Amino acid sequence: PYEFGVKASLAVTHKKGLIVGAKCFPGNPYDGHTLAEQIEQTNILLIDQGVIATTAYVDLGYRGVDKSVASVEVIHRSKIKSLTKQQRRGLKRRQAIEPTIGHVKQDHGMQRCWLKGGIGDAIHTVLCAVGYNIRWLMRAIVRLGSQSFFCAYF
């Protein structure tokens, strides 16, 4: 009863930690009701790369949404007994997503939105994700060196 505003959803790559989708949902909906739209947005953004989302590692707020996103396998902790060994390892990797969300909130200004209205909230969500990705890209360039970075990623 004390929450207000909007819910921001981030889609993060499983291995590298790059944000590939950021969407704002007005009215603070239940987590499970946002997954289908987030996956749709992510697939639209990644279509040029020839990549499509096949698996979603989510938290327990997304229980019961398997039928609404039939094209994507939804994996969460309550299915642990029916998962394969590889899926269990992937589920442990899901814990690395939480720091990404924390960094976007703390370091990139997602704690408070100063833009007006629903459009302002949506723009703010995307800009915070872009800021995170730019910092991620700059760190990768420094770590790998500029020439080897462009050969490895582009």
Encode pLDDT of 80-125 as tens digits. 778 888 888 877 777 777 788 888 888 887 877 778 888 888 898 8
Q: Rounded to two decimals, what is the model's pTM?
A: 0.78
The two tokens of residue 141 are: 């360039």
Pairing of strands 6-12, 19-26: antiparallel
Calculate ∠ Cα 103-133-117, nearest 5°: 75
The two tokens of residue 20 are: 């590939």
